[in-house]
């Protein structure tokens, strides 16, 4: 190899050694990947048991039980399958939608679906209102001694620090609100509040206030500064700037996040009924624990799936409208 080639190679090696790289990013990625891989070795997943003949039998029985019950018959020799009949299936579907789980005094599927929807709507509206209370105190450009002041005398240390405490405190509150899963919050509230709807609504609202509060605070921090400084120069105070200057500017993004989170609220609301709160989850759980009637359980799960897909579509259309308008 020529001297020149050797030199080039050495230079490349040196450049590579001294290339800028982030320890923090590498460390984070390394930890994350290691955690994902290690989970399969550390966790006891009972592989042999998971693929035993017993499981296969169980699956067989489940698949049989998924068939609507008028289309099968239990006999001493086991289950006999009747031929598929759309008319029978249609009757059965109508019964599920109108009367609920067979043999039990539950509400019908349609009613439960609308109830699920109502829970999600009320929860997201409450969460949005909640987040609009918190987000100002978590945004560093608003929660500061002299917001948007062009060139004022520097504030004293006491004012500076007390505002910093306000921001940090609000952010801590928001993070605590969103740290716990909705299901656990609903479970805890359930035994304290009698009404079947409030625990579900509050649980969703609490969690989403935490999430929307942070997202909206970020949006507030990213609002263009210039017009707000001008407003300030005209003598507008903090609240006035927020209402006249910031709120119109953040509204498009506020709405986008609102619909994003509403989608997940619909999804979560289908499940919270398992705690015997007024949603589809209630019917799903009733079907599962009585019998079990797997055909009806699967039916209500699919009904919930339709509801969620519908919610996704509405949200996608709404978000597109917002984007077009802004």
Contact, 36 vs 30, CB < 8 A? Answer: no
Q: Give 50 or 87: the residue with its C-beta nearer to another protein.
A: 50
- Say if CB 280 and CB 273 are below 8 A apart: yes
In the complex with another protein, the residue whose CB is nearer, 155 or 276, is 276
Q: Minimum distance from CB of 106 to another protein (Å)?
A: 16
Q: Are 196 and 276 in contact (CB under 8 A)?
A: yes
Q: What is the nearest approach in angstroms of another protein to the Cβ of residue 48?
A: 11
The CB-of-182 to another protein minimum distance in angstroms stands at 8
Residues sharing a CB contact under 8 Å with residue 145, sequence separation 6 or more, in sequence order: 155, 159, 160, 163
Closest distance between another protein and the C-beta of residue 208, in Å?
Answer: 13
CB 149 within 8 A of CB 142: no
Decide whether 83 or 194 has the Cβ nearer to another protein.
194
| Minimum CB distance to another protein smaller for 143 or for 308 | 308
Cβ pair 118, 307 in contact under 8 A:
no
The torsion angles phi and psi of 62, rounded to 5 degrees, stand at -60, -45
C-beta closer to another protein: residue 52 or 162: 52
Residue whose CB is less far from another protein, 33 or 159: 33
User: What is the smallest separation between the CB atom of 192 and another protein, expressed in angstroms?
Assistant: 4
User: 88 vs 249, which CB is nearer to another protein?
Assistant: 249
Compute the distance between CA of residue 175 and CA of residue 178 in angstroms, rounded to an integer: 5
User: Cis omega (within 30 of 0) on the bond before 95?
Assistant: no
Least distance CB 136 / another protein (angstroms)? 17
List Cβ neighbours of 12 (8 Å cut-off, separation of 6 or more): none
Rounded least distance, CB 59 to another protein, Å: 5
**Phi and psi at residue 202, in whole multiples of 5°?**
-65, -40
In whole angstroms, the minimum distance from the beta carbon of 175 to another protein comes to 6
Return the C-alpha torsion angle 218, 220, 224, 227, nearest 10: -170
Please name the residues in contact with 134: beta carbons below 8 A apart, sequence gap of 6 or more: 170, 173, 174, 209, 213, 217
Among residues 99 and 111, whose Cβ is nearest to another protein?
111
Residue 154 or 248 with smaller CB distance to another protein? 248
Nearest to 206 by CA among 173, 238, 234: 173
Smallest separation (angstroms) from another protein to the CB of 66: 9
E strand segments, the chain: 72-75, 78-81
- The CA distances from residue 34 to 21, 23, 31, 39, in Å, are 20, 16, 5, 8
């Amino acid at each position: 190899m020529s001297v020149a080639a050797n030199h080039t190679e050495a230079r490349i090696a040196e450049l590579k050694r001294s290339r800028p790289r982030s320890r923090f990013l590498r460390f984070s990625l390394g930890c994350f990947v290691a955690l994902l891989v290690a989970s399969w070795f550390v966790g006891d997943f009972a592989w042999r048991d998971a693929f035993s003949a017993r499981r296969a039998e169980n699956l067989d029985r489940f698949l049989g039980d998924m068939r609507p019950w008028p289309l099968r018959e239990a006999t001493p020799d086991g289950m006999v399958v009747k031929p598929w009949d759309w008319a029978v299936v249609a009757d059965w579907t109508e019964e599920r939608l109108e009367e609920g789980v067979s043999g039990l005094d539950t509400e019908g599927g349609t009613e439960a679906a609308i109830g699920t929807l109502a829970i999600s709507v009320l929860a997201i509206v409450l969460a949005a209102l909640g987040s609009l209370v918190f987000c100002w105190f978590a945004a560093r450009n608003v929660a500061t001694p002299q917001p948007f002041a062009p060139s004022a005398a520097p504030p004293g240390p006491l004012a500076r620090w007390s505002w910093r405490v306000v921001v940090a405190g609000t952010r801590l509150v928001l993070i605590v609100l969103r740290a716990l899963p909705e299901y656990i919050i609903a479970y805890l509230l359930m035994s304290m509040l009698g009404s079947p709807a409030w625990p579900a609504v509050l649980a969703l609202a609490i969690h989403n206030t935490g999430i929307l509060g942070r997202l909206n605070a970020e949006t507030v921090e990213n609002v263009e500064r210039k017009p707000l400084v001008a407003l300030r120069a005209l003598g507008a105070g903090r609240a006035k700037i927020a209402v006249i200057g910031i709120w119109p500017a953040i509204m498009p993004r506020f709405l986008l996040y609102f619909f994003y989170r509403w989608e997940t609220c619909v999804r979560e609301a289908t499940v919270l009924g398992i705690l015997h709160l007024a949603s589809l989850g209630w019917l799903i759980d009733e079907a599962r624990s009585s019998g079990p009637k797997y055909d009806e359980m699967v039916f209500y799960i699919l009904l919930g799936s339709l509801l969620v897909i519908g919610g996704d579509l509405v949200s996608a259309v709404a978000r597109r409208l917002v984007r077009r308008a802004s």
